[in-house]
Amino acid sequence: MKTKPTYYITTPIYYPSDNLHIGHAYTTVAADTMARYKRLRGYDVRFLTGSDEHGQKIERKARAENMAPLAYVDPIVGSFKELWRRLQVEYDDFIRTTDERHIKSVQEIFRKIYANGDIYLSQYEGWYCTPCEAFWLERQLVDGENGQRCCPDCRRPVELVKEESYFFKMSKYQDRLLEHIAANPDFIQPVSRRNEMVSFIKQGLEDLCVSRTTFDWGIPVPLNANHVIYVWFDALSNYITALGYGGEDDTLYRRYWPADLHLVGKDIVRFHTVIWPIILMALGEPLPKQVFGHGWLLLESGKMSKSKGNVVDPLVLIDRYGVDAVRYYLLRELPSGQDGYYSEESLVTRINTDLANDLGNLLHRSLAMIGKFGGGRLQRPVPAVEGPLEQEVQALAAQTVAEFGRLMDRFEPGNAHGAIWKLVGRLNKYIDERAPWALAKRPEAGEELSAVLYHLAEGLRIIAILVTPGMLNIGPRIFGQLGLTGQPDLATWEATAWGRLPDGTQVNRGEPLFPRIDPAVLAAAGPEAPLCTQTASVAAEPAFPPVGPEITLDDFSRLDLRVVEVVAAKKVPKADKLLELQVKLGDEVRTVVSGIAQHYTPEELVGKRVVLVANLKPVKLRGILSQGMILAASHGDQLEALTVSAGLPAGSQVK
């Protein structure tokens, strides 16, 4: 049996001083998507996340709450796990630095480096930033208000500390680290981060203080119980302690190390590309293959910070818009390696434009036409009827699969999903170019029509495979509507090859993937009201509106309701909800503008007999004179126009 290649990916272990925000959610969703993509490609994947629970900052916060540090962090760590569950993050291990397995392994790492002569006891006097748990030299500090000396990272005041400490000989490994970076250009990505770190290292590395004596909340130094191990030495080691390094069973370490990708925020790149690799060098262990420092998800007011009161709670967004929409937004909105900007308006725009209009409408239109023109059943096309447009769609589908894979392998999830949406856009254009409704009127074009419908469904099947690592529920929902539930062999990476959709497949049209969000409804709903219509769980049925006030028979008799036949239909430009219909009422043809575009395609309305309020005063809508109103029934996101059988002639009165 062929052995699968391994892939080990990690997030930072998050600091439980408070609940996480949407910036942390980006890191973990991006890592989860990468892990799922690699599993799709056939890799043996190990995905690690966790919590970094020691340090002076935690000890002080716990003391302020009159709590023991572990009792203080336990519920916060629980909130981390709940957030990952709600975001459908599927990690293989969650490491806590308070786990006994981690504590013993870190002590073994400290003991081994000390035995090698790379840790020594001395006195430390210098500047320390408690919020960042970082040591700084005088020359690295910045000036704050009232002449205070401040941390160059968080801009908060630093403390001058003097204590006995153990030191790690970082300076010994400076040249070796620079040589490794030069020989392995992908070790630090993106390039801008690599250049920053090379510049930092060339300024000269000082030996690092790796123990503290002024507080107790940490892992005891195995050689001296009066000291606790510096929190970053402790925390960085998690990437190998979680694999059993330094413990009784290191099977996982031998299987998965070195890590393929450490995914971190740009503010902690220095710790991961300077301190961590030198620890590994001192241990004689291989270095990770890549550290990728992504940018921040910013607000207009700057970086999210609890102290600023500007954090965005991802749980609120999940309740409001659904987990798939939130995951997609995070993946698309942050350019790889650069900062991105969050706003609720941009989130709603992504949902309405990319998910509802582009992907959702493609599925809705395609299945409607397969139902109307193909009886809901797909036929594998005869090669002779596949023209240049069909060949172009097939070529773009193959190109999209290759480009998606290339970009994901480079950790560019935003651009990778952008490649998928090029195929989505091409298929929407293909519908307009091939006009299946016109082909359906030509009996001799039956095979050509079948080919068009097959290409739409096959394109959607391939799209469903590619979007699944990022939007876990959407791929299966598309498969369900394509009639492919229970056929996992059609959802593999190998199945992205064109033409795997079986002949005779019966589609099963369902609810829209992503109903549009009306900005007016959004504004009226309030900042935390749930708006999503699809989540991982079943949403509650919307309440029925109350019955309106009574009217008399005379009131009702004033309405003239007529059966009309839709003879033509088209979208109203720049109006997502409106269709312009030409309806036949007896010998008269009228123009009616109807707000049903999110529920019907123009082509599926043509030929239907619907009910019209015929004596409604004409009104201009988007510059079009509308002569009446089509009646429809609605419940929640469902809407159906009232129709009658073809046996009733256009012009018949509804009583």
CB 481 within 8 A of CB 364: no
The pLDDT value recorded for residue 558 is 86
CB of 259 within 8 A of CB of 9? yes
Q: What is the pLDDT of residues 100-124, one digit of tens each?
A: 999 999 999 999 999 999 999 998 8
pLDDT level of residue 88 (50, 70, 90 thresholds): very high
CA atoms within 13 A on the CB side of 305: 10
Higher-scoring residue by pLDDT: 600, 306: 600
Pairing verdict, β 142-143 and 134-136: unpaired
Structure confidence at residue 302 as a pLDDT band (50, 70, 90):
low
Residue 101 covered by a domain: yes
Q: Is the same domain home to 640 and 585?
A: yes
CA dihedral 401, 402, 407, 411 (to 10 degrees): 80
pLDDT at 537 over 50: no
pLDDT tens digits along 478-487: 999 999 999 9
Instruction: Please write the tens of the pLDDT for every residue from 139-170.
Output: 888 988 877 889 888 888 988 888 899 999 99
Q: Does residue 357 sit in the same domain as residue 449? A: yes
User: Are residues 170 and 284 both part of a single domain?
Assistant: yes
| Whether pTM exceeds 0.85 | no
- At residue 554, does pLDDT exceed 80? no
Q: What are the start-end ranges of the H helices in 301-387? A: 314-321, 323-333, 344-350, 361-374
What is the average per-residue pLDDT within 593-598? 89
CA distance 73 to 304: 21
> pLDDT band at 622, cuts 50/70/90?
confident
pLDDT over 90 (residue 336): no
The tokens describing 559, both together, are: 């309405």
CATH number at residue 118: 3.40.50.620
Count Cβ atoms below 10 Å from residue 409 Cβ, excluding itself.
13
Residue type, 17: S
Residue pair 209/162 in contact by the 8 Å Cβ criterion: no
For residues 320-344, average pLDDT: 90
Q: What is the pLDDT of residue 420?
A: 98
Give percent of the chain above pLDDT 90: 72
Residue 533 has pLDDT above 70, yes or no: no
The DSSP code sequence of 432-496 is HHH-HHHHTT-GGGHHHHHHHHHHHHHHHHHHHHHHTTTSTTHHHHHHHHTT-TT-GGGSSSGGG
pLDDT at 525: 59
Note whether 33 and 173 are same-domain residues. yes
In a domain, 533, yes or no: no
Asked if residue 1 has pLDDT above 70, the reply is: no
Gap between the Cα atoms of 479 and 526, Å rounded: 35
Which helix (DSSP H) or strand (DSSP E) does residue 479 occupy? Answer: helix 474-481
Domain boundary among 496, 517, 534: 496
| 3-class secondary-structure state, position 338 | coil
Question: What CA–CA distance (Å, rounded) separates 368 from 512?
Answer: 12
User: What is the residue-averaged pLDDT of the chain?
Assistant: 90
pLDDT in tens, 406-416: 999 999 999 99
Task: Say what the pLDDT of residue 547 is.
Answer: 67
Instruction: Give the three-class secondary structure for 44.
Output: strand
Please check whether residue 355 lies inside any domain of the structure: yes
Domain boundary among 312, 332, 361: 312
| Polymer length in residues for the chain | 655
Q: For position 348, what pLDDT does the model report?
A: 94
Residue 258 lies in a domain: yes
Averaged pLDDT, 578-593: 93
Q: Per the domain annotation, does 159 fall within a domain?
A: yes
Question: What b/e sequence results for 344-370 when a residue is b if at least 16 CB atoms lie within 10 Å of its CB, and e otherwise?
Answer: eeebbebbbebbbbbbbbbbbbbbbbb
307 part of a folded domain: yes
- Residue 9 in this model has a pLDDT that exceeds 80: yes
Residue 305 pLDDT greater than 60, yes or no: no
Site of tokens 């050509």:
448
Of 115, 107, 54, 114, nearest to 245 by C-alpha is 107
Mean pLDDT computed over 625-641 = 83
Residue 404's nearest CA partner among 27, 6, 91, 40 is: 40
Q: Which residues face 233 on adjacent strands?
A: none
E strands, 197-247, are 208-209, 211-212, 220-221, 224-229
Region 457-463: what's the mean pLDDT?
A: 98
CA-closest candidate to residue 112, choices 328, 299, 285, 339 = 285
Average pLDDT over residues 618-631: 91
The pLDDT of residue 403 is 98
End-of-domain residue from the set 290, 312, 334: 312
Residue 640's pLDDT is what? 84
**CA–CA gap between residue 470 and residue 496 (Å, rounded):** 16
Residue 327 has pLDDT above 90, yes or no: yes
In a domain, 541, yes or no: no
Same domain, 203 and 144: yes
Residue numbers of the domain that contains 180: 6-312
Instruction: Provide the pLDDT for residue 330.
Output: 95
Is the pLDDT assigned to residue 311 strictly greater than 90? no
Strand partners, 161: 126
Task: Provide the b/e sequence for 229-259 (b: ≥16 CB within 10 Å).
Answer: bbbbbbbbbbbbbbbbbbbeeeebbeebbbb
Q: Tell me how far apart the alpha carbons of residues 48 and 28 are, in angstroms, rounded to a whole number.
A: 10
SS3 percent helix, strand, coil of the chain, rounded to 5, is 45, 20, 35
Q: Same domain for 349 and 305?
A: no
Question: Are residue 349 and residue 262 in the same domain, yes or no?
Answer: no
What is the mean pLDDT of the segment spanning 525-554?
A: 52
Residues 278 and 365 in one domain: no
Strand partners, 262: 10, 291
* Bigger pLDDT: 338 vs 436: 436
Mean pLDDT of 229-249: 96
What the block records as the tokens of 103 is: 């504590």
Lowest mean pLDDT among 106-120, 349-363, 454-468, 538-552: 538-552
Question: What is the rounded CA–CA span in Å between residue 617 and residue 619?
Answer: 6
Least confident of 39-43, 72-76, 336-340: 336-340
Residues 385 and 266 in one domain: no
Instruction: Please tell me whether residues 348 and 297 are part of one structural domain.
Output: no
Q: How many domains does the chain have?
A: 3
Q: Are residues 166 and 205 in the same domain?
A: yes
pLDDT of 602 higher than 50: yes
CATH of the domain at 636: 2.40.50.140
What's the CATH code of the domain at 391? 1.10.730.10
The answer to whether residue 563 sits within a structural domain is yes
Helices (H), ranges, 116-190? 174-183
* pLDDT of 363 strictly over 80: yes
137 and 284 part of one domain = yes
pLDDT in tens, 258-283: 999 999 999 999 999 999 999 999 99
Residue 527 pLDDT > 60, yes or no?
Answer: no
